[in-house]
């Protein structure tokens, strides 16, 4: 699934599932972490889906700010994918903590089960969330690198037009290389695309949950963090 995939929760936008329904939405894997009801696979899937697809309209619906999300106009702020935007900013600013409002997990139907588990088993759930954040950050980094590569032909075309308007003859690509110039792989001057995926892969991402029904001491969960 890509970051821009349509929300899997769209058909649940007008529902307010109880705990039993949330168990179904949260996954049905029978392989669980010993001593808990936590499925690593289901929890990872639910958290990634939440990060990719949670929109502000779910929280607005839970808090009674809107009555029917299907009637919101296209330009309504409720359609904003909040955590996609947050993580794009994290990528740009090179930061690793992600502040997570647990009430948003509760508002998003597919993560209602995850919200219950976070209350009961924070030591097991938060590391899963950390891994999910890193995986989605890699996806965003890949997408950003693709966008930067796609911009290079346009930059090269602009550079060619500038050379055509100049009285100086165009310089062969071999001469550019010999003079230490950078090329974009097509023999034209360009800008190197940073290895954003490598940078993300080298980092450790941490989820910092707040808005819980009970307080979790994060220092006890991660003494070195």
Residue 109 · residue 161 · CB < 8 Å:
no
Reported as a pLDDT band with limits 50, 70 and 90, residue 9 is low
CA atoms within 13 Å, Cβ hemisphere of 40: 10
pLDDT tens readout for residues 131-178:
999 999 999 999 999 999 998 876 555 555 555 555 555 555 555 444
**Distance in angstroms (rounded) separating the CA atoms of residues 186 and 198:** 23
pLDDT tens readout for residues 39-74:
899 999 999 999 999 999 999 999 999 988 888 999
**Distance in angstroms (rounded) separating the CA atoms of residues 10 and 83:** 17
**Distance in angstroms (rounded) separating the CA atoms of residues 73 and 71:** 6
Of residues 98 and 172, more confidence is placed in 98
Residue 211 · residue 101 · CB < 8 Å:
yes
Of residues 129 and 185, more confidence is placed in 129
**Can you give the pLDDT at residue 12?**
42
Enter the pTM of the model.
0.70
Average model confidence (pLDDT) for the chain? 78
Closest CA to 153 of 185, 114, 201: 185
Enumerate domains of the chain plus CATH numbers.
15-68+76-140+198-221 (3.30.1640.10)
**Distance in angstroms (rounded) separating the CA atoms of residues 162 and 158:** 6
């Amino acid at each position: 699934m890509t970051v821009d995939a349509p929300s899997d929760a769209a058909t649940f936008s007008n529902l307010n599932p109880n705990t039993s329904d949330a168990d179904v939405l949260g996954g049905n894997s029978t392989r669980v972490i010993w001593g808990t009801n936590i499925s690593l696979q289901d929890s990872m899937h639910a958290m990634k889906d939440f990060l990719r697809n949670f929109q502000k309209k779910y929280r607005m619906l839970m808090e009674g700010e809107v009555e029917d999300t299907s009637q919101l106009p296209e330009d309504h702020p409720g359609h904003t994918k909040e955590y996609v935007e947050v993580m794009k900013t994290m990528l740009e600013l090179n930061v690793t903590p992600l502040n997570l409002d647990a009430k948003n997990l509760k508002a998003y139907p597919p993560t209602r089960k995850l919200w219950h588990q976070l209350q009961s088993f924070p030591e097991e759930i938060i590391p899963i969330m950390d891994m999910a954040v890193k995986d989605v950050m890699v996806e965003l980094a890949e997408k950003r690198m693709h966008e930067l590569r796609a911009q290079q032909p346009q930059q090269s075309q602009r550079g060619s037009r500038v050379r055509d308007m100049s009285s100086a003859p165009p310089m062969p690509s071999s001469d550019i290389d010999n003079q230490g110039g950078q090329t974009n792989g097509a023999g034209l001057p360009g800008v190197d695309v940073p290895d954003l995926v490598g940078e993300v892969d080298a980092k450790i991402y941490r989820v910092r949950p707040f808005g819980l029904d009970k307080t979790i001491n994060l220092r006890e969960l991660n003494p070195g963090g």
